[in-house]
Amino acid sequence: KEAYDMIEPIITKCAAQVNDGACTGYVGPVGAGNYVKMVHNGIEYGDMQLIGEVYDIMKHVLKLSNEEMANIFSEWNSTELQSYLIEITSTILGKKDEFVDGGYVVDYVLDKTGMKGTGRWTIQEAAERSVAAPLMAASLDARYISARKDERIKASEILKGP
């Protein structure tokens, strides 16, 4: 705590700011901050999975354009769904590609993700504590599948369907 108190003014100035102050604070002894960040990342995996699934339905089922989806996410960002991830999703969906006439950047993003391990660690910790974390576990599974792009391409040549 002594070390935190010494650098707190610097951290507070550097941290993201919201209506009730800086997004920073002392959370406990050595390692506690890393634990909180690990859980945060696991939750964020779930949020991103939900956003990805909503995007997929909007694009492939509802047949919405990138601009229409960007507008919807922008509207959602002014409701109780307001968050950094909803905000940047709106921005990304509306971003035109300056190198492709009339194209959108999102249409050229490789559908393959990587990971550093914090999502897996969160699920492992949940299991160790007998805490159900189905959305986070499903999002981690989706990342595993996403990372296997070459295998997905081969499978798509054999398997037919949506």
Catalytic residue annotation:
37, 44
Sign of the Cα torsion 35, 39, 40, 44 reads positive
DSSP annotation of 18 reads E
DSSP annotation of 59 reads I
- How many Cα atoms within 13 Å fall on the side-chain side of residue 85? 15
Say how far residue 21 (Cα) sits from the centre of its chain: 23
Helix (H, G, I), strand (E, B) or coil at 151: helix
